[in-house]
Amino acid sequence: MILSSTDPSAENIYLQWKFERNGDTRDYFLKLGRESKYGMLKLTGTITDIAHVDIEGGFKAGPFMPNEFLFTSMWDKSNGVVTGEGTFDYGNYHGSHRLVKFERNAERKSASFEWSATSNLPQYNSVSVSGNYDFDHKVVIFVVINADGRESKIDINIADINPTSSRNTAMISIPLLGPTFERTELTVSHDFSHPNRKSISAVAKFGRSESFINAKWNRSDGFETLEGNIEAKSRFLGDFLINVRYDMSNIADAHAEVDYLRTTTDGDKKEFKLNWTRKSTDDHLENEMVFDSNFETLSHARAYANADYGGIFKLLSGLDWNDKKISLTLEVRKNKISGILTTPFEGFETLEIDLQYKLTGKDKSVQATYQRGDRKVSLNMEMSMKGKKGGSFKVDLTTPFEVVKNLHIDGQYENKVAQINYQRNDIQMNFNGKANIKSSKASFDISFTPPSGQNIRIAASYDVQDFIDGTGDEEKELASLSLEFEGNSMDFSLHGFRNDDRLYVMIHGTSSFAVLKMFHLKLDSELNTEARDGTFELTFNDFKFNVSNHFERRANNGYYFRSKIESTLTPLPALIIGLGREGEERIITIGYGEDKEITFSVEGKNNFLSGFSGKVDIPSIGYEGVEYDVDYSFPGDNHLQIKVEIDLNENGQEVEATFFLDSEGIKARLSSAVLGDHSLRVRRSVAPDGFYAEAGLDDYNLKLRGGFKNEDTARGVQLEGEVFGKRFLIDTLFQSEGKRYSEGKLIIHTPFHGMEKMGPIHLVSQNKKIMAHAELHLPSYTTPTITGEISLDLKKKINGYVTLDVAGEEFTLKCNLAGSSISQGYTGSLEFYTPFHAVSHVVVTGLSTGNVEADLTVNDNKINAHYTLAQSTFKFDVTTVIFGKERQFSIEAKYPSLENLQGVVAVTLEGEKHMVSGSLNIVNNRIQGAMDLESDLIEGPRKLVFDVSMPTASYKQVSFNIVFTSSDPHSFYLDLDLRTGLQATVKIDTPVFPKVTTTLQVAPAVAGITIETPKEHTRFSLAGARLVECRLTGLLPSS
């Protein structure tokens, strides 16, 4: 049918369709719209089955395409190989194509193909595509695309799946991406074939740039020795090279080295070397750590401590950094201690101390000399005991300090009463006072209080014989010297002990003089080769440097080593690092600061083929001795089962998780006294005529069920789902048997208040007869349903009826109009039926095309009717006043083309107003529409906007977007792709439950689900034919 007008400027309107089928022959044609903007779709030819097709067709997407796209296509299958050819024309462009072959092996999940085309399209005169794929226990894809000599390539080869050694590659070459990413290549390999020598490599190439990381290591059976390196190259971070070597096989001669080199993207080099050595014999010990780098702030550092012990104990220790050095030389003899301290601090370049003790017998003496540069301090102390209750003492002190250049004290004591002569510089005094006298064979301590009230104390001790002999077993004071007078003080002490298993030395000195407030040095080294702790501490006023080491042998030829380093040289907190093994269990510790460390151990089961277990210590958050156990198995080629158990070692708290993956999806469960109980479900099933999918996390749940009709005369899709307990349904069907019969339906159920159910909507066309039925359900008991029905005969006439039922009150409009077109006019009659007894039937005759208005008054009852019939527009209004009750009904439709279909239905019943309006747009397998509802029975307007896109006729790609607006907005988005497995993205934003985005992917080589809400982000992914990665990240509710 072509609608034309006598007006030369008016465009013709095409209303043409044809749907015929005779056996394998099809002849389908549809053309709708204005002459300048029409849409067209045609398909003719023979379709024996999917493997034997010979057709020609075309399409035009309304105003979006100025020309028709016409094509021919033929393909045939013989001996398992599909071949074909075809042509296309679009305006001035034309071309041909040829399918050389497509050969598929369903049993082995593999195929190969080759296709070529020629055309007069610029830059695409010649195009060819060839390649193959193989998914039989591997992922191999190879595709080559050539367009006028420009070659693009995809080469993915993940076929080497072996726990012992592998090499897999993936390459994509697309020149259109530019020089940086025109060629991307990734190669991953590993070699664990040797029990002690292993390597891992990953190389990524982007265009002309290359990034990689390589790791190699070789170790002894018990991990006592190891040598390895890590080399990396990154376009963002530069080049890295790390070499590690250590030998702990003999703790009496052990060493470790670390080399680090980095070249930044700007060409700057950052490098350092760290060496540690330890050697020990029966009478000698060496410990040294050396750090060298090209860092400006710290180019060189060295900490060392060497000790000789025999008849004389000698200690040589120090710390170097850059060009600065601190060193200490200490000698301990039977009656003498001497030491030299050198520092880079001004005024303290060299400090020498010499102490000589004679504390045996009744006459005791101590001679001490302290020298700093040209400044010298001398101290002589003598004590003579004449009996148990009496004796004499003398002290002489000379210093360069103004406060005490000379100090002399002497006196006699008897029965704890002392007569004392005191002189400091020019100050002299004589007094009697109470004295406290203590004396032993290795010490003396005299203190008394002068009239000034400030205590005077003289004390000394010396006992080093056990230390020199190496027979001590606990810390004790070896030597001390103390002097207090007039608020000033000087204290010196030497503590320590030594035996065959341990050397402990601590020197501590304090004074009231600002130039040297404190000096502290501690060396603690266990010589036991089975378990030992080592400490080196150096403090000089505010300067500090500490190193703590721990080493222990563990069961099954194992060991554990831990080191902690802290210093005021850098603003960084303490650095903690450790490593070890116990049997097949590997242990790593890393951390910084106080208690901010993590110790992690892992032990494989059956060489990691069936699981692993271990322990975790995180003291900073109160978890120590946490045990975990992971088991996984492959019951079948497409099955993976994982079980995880975690014992928090705290009041019996445990965490259990199970995971199961098969060809239909994923199931997971988490149970924890801390995290609560959680469950994860991902299932899918795909058949030729439908699919089922489910994805859920705890109370978040998404279910999809779909059915496809792809028969000769019927096509349709059904989506049924449950979103967090809220059901939705979309059911569509279009059936055609040519001119004889066509039928369509649409049913929509949503979880949105006020629009829980819309439909069913049915449309039937048979030999130019149209029948339609629609229902709209409202949230009201008085007006729960509005029903509409249409029956029209359009064979050179408009004969039929339109019925609207609002809450049981039915209005019917019957028409009998004759005429060939709107432009030539229609004549006839209209009948209007109402539910009102007074005026239940009104007939108006003699109507013609245009605007018609009629008034009827019976007593106090009034009826006014008005209709307009014009090109692409129809409008009908009725207003009645029956028994004093006013009612209004109006219907309006605009249908210029398929790109713009609009309609409005309005009803007023005794002051209650109801209006439904909508629009529909169908272009290129895409349906867009909107529906507005306004009613006095509901608060505020309701609006529903939907957008459905189906790019392919197979319905295995569907995009659905719906937005419902009431007092609060609701939106639902679904993108579904069933071509290769299952890929779906669902986005929901509604006040009914939290905003959520769910992405689901289940394919031969990967399975994963991501659920994101405003407070949570949970991701679960699995890749590879065997277990490659299994990761669950995110925040779960604590309640």
Give tens-digit pLDDT for 26-51. Answer: 898 988 888 888 989 999 999 888 88
**pLDDT for 873 beyond 90:** no
Q: What is the per-residue pLDDT for 826?
A: 60
Q: How confident is the model at residue 87 (pLDDT cuts 50, 70, 90)?
A: very high
> 461 and 479 in contact (C-beta within 8 Å)?
yes
Write phi, then psi, for 62 (nearest 5 degrees). Answer: 50, -135
Q: What is the per-residue pLDDT for 711?
A: 52
Q: Which of 895, 924, 953 is the last residue of a domain?
A: 924
User: Closest Cα partner for 189 from 215, 209, 154, 171?
Assistant: 215
Please write the tens of the pLDDT for every residue from 977-999. 766 666 778 777 777 656 777 77
d(CA 313, CA 330): 8
User: Closest Cα partner for 611 from 656, 639, 641, 655?
Assistant: 641
Cα–Cα distances in angstroms (integers) from residue 938 to residues 538, 780, 933, in the given order:
82, 8, 9
The DSSP H or E segment spanning 468 is helix 465-469
Q: What is the per-residue pLDDT for 116?
A: 94
Mean pLDDT confidence for 586-590: 77
Q: Exposed, middle or buried, 178 (CB in 10 Å: 0-12/13-18/19+)?
A: exposed
Domain extent at residue 845? 780-924
Name the most confidently modeled range: 582-586, 892-896, 915-919: 915-919
Q: How confident is the model at residue 572 (pLDDT cuts 50, 70, 90)?
A: low
Q: Exposed, middle or buried, 811 (CB in 10 Å: 0-12/13-18/19+)?
A: buried
Peptide bond into 784 cis (omega under 30): no
Q: Which of 457, 490, 523 is the last residue of a domain?
A: 523
Quick check: is 517 in a domain? yes
**pLDDT for 1024 beyond 50:** no
Distant-in-sequence contacts of 114-122, Cβ < 8 A, 24+ apart: 119/88, 119/93, 119/94, 119/95, 120/92, 120/93, 120/94, 120/95, 121/93, 121/95
Quick check: is 357 in a domain? yes
**pLDDT for 687 beyond 70:** no
Q: What is the per-residue pLDDT for 1027?
A: 33
> What letter does residue 404 receive in the DSSP assignment?
G
Quick check: is 900 in a domain? yes
Q: What is the per-residue pLDDT for 940?
A: 72
User: Closest Cα partner for 490 from 429, 403, 426?
Assistant: 403
Mean pLDDT confidence for 801-826: 66
Please write the tens of the pLDDT for every residue from 736-764. 554 455 566 667 776 655 556 655 655 55
d(CA 943, CA 929): 11
d(CA 879, CA 459): 121
Q: What is the per-residue pLDDT for 130?
A: 92
**pLDDT for 508 beyond 70:** yes
User: Closest Cα partner for 712 from 57, 49, 16?
Assistant: 49
What is the DSSP annotation of 208-261? TEEEEEEEEEEE-TTSSEEEEEEEEEETTTEEEEEEEEEE-S-TTEEEEEEEEE
b/e burial code for range 938-953 (CB count within 10 A of at least 16 → b): beeebbbbbbbebeee
Entry pTM: 0.43
Q: How many CB atoms lie within 10 A of CB 221?
A: 9
**pLDDT for 81 beyond 60:** yes
> 60 and 51 in contact (C-beta within 8 Å)?
no
Quick check: is 1003 in a domain? no
d(CA 471, CA 473): 7
Q: How many CB atoms lie within 10 A of CB 129?
A: 17
Q: What is the per-residue pLDDT for 972?
A: 74
Rounded to a whole number of angstroms, the CA Rg of the chain reads 48
Quick check: is 712 in a domain? no
Q: Which of 883, 909, 924 is the last residue of a domain?
A: 924
Quick check: is 544 in a domain? no
d(CA 509, CA 519): 5
Q: How many residues does the chain have?
A: 1039
What are residue 702's DSSP bridge partners?
Answer: 695, 723
Sole residue written with tokens 């979309």: 730
**pLDDT for 516 beyond 60:** yes
Name the most confidently modeled range: 16-25, 481-490, 589-598, 891-900: 16-25
Q: How confident is the model at residue 399 (pLDDT cuts 50, 70, 90)?
A: confident
Q: What is the per-residue pLDDT for 607?
A: 67
How many distinct structural domains can be found in the chain? 2
Q: How many CB atoms lie within 10 A of CB 573?
A: 12
Quick check: is 306 in a domain? no
What is the DSSP annotation of 418-458? EEEEEEETTEEEEEEEEEEEEEETTEEEEEE--TT---EEE
Q: How confident is the model at residue 120 (pLDDT cuts 50, 70, 90)?
A: very high
Mean pLDDT confidence for 241-268: 87
Sole residue written with tokens 């937005």: 963
> 46 and 56 in contact (C-beta within 8 Å)?
no
Q: How confident is the model at residue 595 (pLDDT cuts 50, 70, 90)?
A: low
Q: How far apart are the first and last CA of the chain?
A: 68
Percent of the chain that is helix, strand, coil (3-state, to 5):
0, 70, 30
Quick check: is 429 in a domain? yes
